[in-house]
Amino acid sequence: MYFHHDDVLIQSDKVKIFVKKSKKNIIFDDYFEYSFYINHFLFYHIIMNAVDNEHLILVPCDFSPLAFQAMGHGAYMSKAMNCRLVILHVTAREAEISAMKKKLCFVAEECMDNFDIRPEVMVRQGSSSYSVIKAVANELNPALVILKTGGGIRTIKILSGTSVPFLVIQGPPAGNVLNNISFPINFLNQHDEKLKRVVHFSEFFPGAIMHIITPSGKGTEKERAVAMSISLMNKVMESQGIKTNFIKHDKEKNTAETILELSKDMDMIVIQMEEASSFSKFFFGLREEKLITNANRIPVLCFNNEADFISTRRNRS
């Protein structure tokens, strides 16, 4: 019995999936693995394939040296992701809008000279640049916002107030190619949305190795479940032609310290923003703050919850 889809051909009697994109088969050990793939990864491909590629990357610019470095990241990412690049300046005075737009146009020309891409320009008025950036991000629904870190807590307030992914940077791009990307995933919990994002994000950086950092569950009743999750993910990654390296550790969870220690040689870290319980609201963002202000100045790509992520993609289609 066969079922056809744009991406896959499923031969259900043998629990085998043929992925047209990579021309490879995924053969599952049992129906549990097969069902997991259908319920999660296949649904994700349907959502992502409906997305219009003509979206944009937003880069706030206050004309500081670090803002120009963020523009370098934006130029590289917009080429890799085939997105428009938009630079945004926030001014407190309405009378300055015209002058700031002219100044921003000069910046756009400089970006063209240095990175071979001419961004669109946008100037908005507001007393709080962080509030305006958040509002514009929610209004435009960009594929990505590239934000210079302005202190951990202030940056976290923007990240937690929007469903848009943010790339937080502390310096210039290390190069034109991302070779090693760190994805901390806790397989002791169900982080299906993170697995889907690994697949989607890797499409833009086909040469990169995705380093999956996870607690091993060693010595606990969850050790077998972790091993099964890794086995399944490895099959999916291989079928998509994605280079994957699993880094297991014996800690109970992926703390900021563990992530940074295992990611010190990476070109980027991708994290899921954690949602605190009512008991621990005071501590919300502390892990993220440590990561985005890391001493090695590694860029950190931050996602919020899965419902917002999928909703964002549907709205763009």
CA distance 55 to 78: 10
Predicted local distance difference test score (pLDDT) of residue 186: 75
Cross-strand bridge partners of residue 84: 56
Predicted local distance difference test score (pLDDT) of residue 204: 75
* Class (C level, CATH) for 2-49+179-266: alpha beta
Number of C-beta neighbours around residue 53 at 10 A: 9
pLDDT of the chain, 317 residues: tens digit per residue: 333 344 444 454 555 555 555 555 666 555 555 555 555 454 444 334 433 434 899 999 999 999 999 999 999 989 888 889 999 999 999 999 999 999 999 999 999 999 999 999 999 999 988 889 989 998 998 989 999 986 656 777 777 767 788 899 999 988 777 899 998 887 766 555 666 666 777 777 778 898 999 888 887 877 887 888 788 778 777 777 788 899 999 888 888 999 999 999 999 998 877 644 333 344 445 788 889 899 999 999 988 754 444 344 444 44
Q: What is 50-175+297-317's CATH number?
A: 3.40.50.620
175 close to 77: Cβ distance less than 8 angstroms:
no
Gyration radius of the chain's alpha carbons: 21
What size, in residues, is the chain?
317
CATH topology match: 2-49+179-266 vs 50-175+297-317: yes
Comparing CA positions, the residue from 119, 143, 165 lying closest to residue 272 is: 165
Cα 52–57–59 angle (5° rounding)? 165
Domain residue spans in the chain?
A: 2-49+179-266, 50-175+297-317
